[in-house]
Amino acid sequence: MHALKDKVSQKLSNLFADSPSQSASPRHSLTDSPKASGKSFTSYFSFGAGNEDEDSESSLPPPLPIRSDSYESVENCKQQDCKKNQTSTMIGNEGNVKEITESSAFISANLCEFLHACLPNIVRGCKWVLVYSTLKHGISLRTLLRKSAELPGPCLLVAGDKQGAVFGALLDCPLIPTPKRKYQGTSQTFLFTTIYGQPRIFRPTGANRYYYMCMNEFLAFGGGGSFALCLDEDLLKATSGPSETFGNECLASSTEFELKNVELWGFAHASQYLSS
């Protein structure tokens, strides 16, 4: 019995001696484990993910070339639009200037466009007829009053000082002088000036009805404080100051000044102008 037991134990010991040890197994080698190599499982996965990103980036098509002239093309379009607008404005100015039948000492294309937009609808599209000019008819207020009867209706008085300011007013013709100081006109009367650089208009404020006063000795506009504009009987000197009627400041280069020229423009329909 003991001999059988010894034989069995010897065979078992021989069996264990011949079998490989666990430490020699490659599956459980500590050197190949992630911890032993200093790498975690996440590092293996991140390494694989990184390879996938590199592959995806390398597989993307190259970016399209950027056109360096795209901004310039937009600017060119803007410049072309500006040129078109400038051209259309010039055409509009030329169209309004063509309505003026004679040359003016003051009315430029820009001022003509401005005044045309300020005029009442009844005279828009009409020919501008020079009724009076100190260069053609002499320096006399009485002559201006007499000539104003040639073309009844709204008329435009345009004057200027020797410093370059241009100003004037819209009033009703014929101008009828009164023996005493008496205001005339309607709410469509307005004043304008270029003293501020660009043409500027002053319409009645509603404070009073002192539109204009016409006498043989002077022609004045506005009131309530001072005359907005007052021309003497020789049309050589004039004054200008703030008025409540139009809410204006001085229209000329100074409050007292010498006139360079005075013009009075009437309006006539094309058929009426051609038949006259």
Q: Among the listed ranges 87-91, 134-138, 189-193, 269-273, which one has the minimum average pLDDT value?
A: 87-91
Rounded to an integer, the average pLDDT of 70-80 is 36
Backbone angles phi, psi at 190, to 5 degrees: -145, 165
Half-sphere exposure of 15 (CA within 13 A, CB side): 6
pLDDT for res 241: 97
End-to-end alpha-carbon separation of the chain, Å?
A: 161
How far is CA 152 from each of CA 103, 144, 176, 247, rounded to the nearest angstrom? 21, 13, 11, 28
In the predicted structure, residue 166 carries a pLDDT above the cut 60: yes
Rounded to an integer, the average pLDDT of 201-224 is 97
For the chain, helix, strand, coil in percent to 5 are 35, 25, 40
Q: State the pTM of this model.
A: 0.65
Torsion of CA 112, 113, 114, 120, to 10 degrees: 90
Torsion of CA 152, 145, 159, 207, to 10 degrees: -70
Q: How far apart are CA 263 and CA 102, in angstroms?
A: 11
> Which of the two residues, 53 and 250, has the higher pLDDT score?
250
Q: What integer best gives the mean pLDDT of the chain?
A: 77
In the predicted structure, residue 255 carries a pLDDT above the cut 80: yes
For residue 205, which of 243, 246, 241 has the smallest C-alpha distance?
Answer: 246
pLDDT bin (cut points 50, 70, 90) of residue 272 is low
For residue 139, which of 258, 261, 252 has the smallest C-alpha distance?
Answer: 261
pLDDT for res 269: 83
The residue written with tokens 């009442």 in the block is 120
pLDDT bin (cut points 50, 70, 90) of residue 71 is very low
Bridge-based pairing state of the strands 237-239 and 229-232: antiparallel
> Which of the two residues, 211 and 37, has the higher pLDDT score?
211
> Which of the two residues, 111 and 69, has the higher pLDDT score?
111
Torsion of CA 174, 179, 183, 184, to 10 degrees: -20
pLDDT bin (cut points 50, 70, 90) of residue 228 is very high
pLDDT bin (cut points 50, 70, 90) of residue 48 is very low
Share of the chain above pLDDT 70, in %: 62
In the predicted structure, residue 102 carries a pLDDT above the cut 50: yes
